[in-house]
Each structure stands twice: as C-alpha cells, then as structure tokens.
Amino acid sequence: MITRTVHSLEAQQIIKDALAANSVEMHIDSQGSEHFVTYSVTLEAGQVAYSAYRASRGGKTHDGKPLPVALPADLLSAWGSFAAAVMTGCGVDQAYQRYLTERSGLAVAGGAAPDWNELRNTKPDIAAAWADAANALTPAP
C-alpha cells in the first residue's frame, strides 16, 4: 500500500476529471475546533445523465468496448437535449427521441439508431440504462 498526500488543487482536479465536471470548488467549514472540507461540483445535465447511463452499462458499450468518462462536444449536446427533455417532464421515450433528433437518428457508431420501441424490445438492457440516465435527473420524492 502506498500513502500519499493530495493537496487541495490536485484533489479538485481529480474530482473534476473523475466526474467530468465543469468546475469544482472547495469549502472549509469549522465547527468548534473541527474543520470539514466539502466540494461543490458543477456538471452539465447531459453529463450527469450520461454518467448514470455509463454506470448502468458497467462502463461498456453494447459490444464490450469501454465508454469514455467525459463526452465529446457533439455527444454532450445530444445528451444535453435528452437531459433538458427529462427535466421538463418528458418521459424517457420522448427524451431519447430528442437525443436521436440531435444525432440525426444516428448511433454513435454511425449507423441508424433504433427507435425507443425497437430498443426496448431488442436491447432491454440498453433501454434500462437510458431509464437510469433519466432517473439520475429526476429529484427524489
């Protein structure tokens, strides 16, 4: 086992990279003689949804390749459309359609992406990951 000290700027960068965050801010609170460190993290809603999707898929694509932690700009935009739809009350099926519209109906690999019904019927594990992505954006009751 190796022990190393991580200073605040490095810790912030590690958190930022791990969560694909836009920014990380450290806060130090004092309660009596004790000090507590917390971090505020700013994330794109599309990245939050994608991260939940990625976690649901075990970090792998449908064919076993690794999913990246951070999204490239073109995919972040599509995931942002998905997230915006969910946050305005659309169901996962409608939000997925917004994602497809942003992607011009194309899957990441370049071929035609399945519509929601086809996805649910032929790849229920992937449809479930999309549902997990939507749930990540929905506040708990």
Per residue of the chain (141 residues), what is the pLDDT tens digit? 998 888 888 888 888 877 777 788 888 999 989 989 888 887 789 999 999 999 999 999 988 999 998 888 889 999 999 999 999 999 999 999 999 999 999 998 889 999 999 999 999 999 999 999 999 998 666
Show contacts of 92-101: CB within 8 Å, 24+ apart: 92/116, 92/130, 92/131, 92/133, 92/134, 95/134, 96/130
pTM: 0.78
Task: Give residue 7's identity as a one-letter amino acid code.
Answer: H
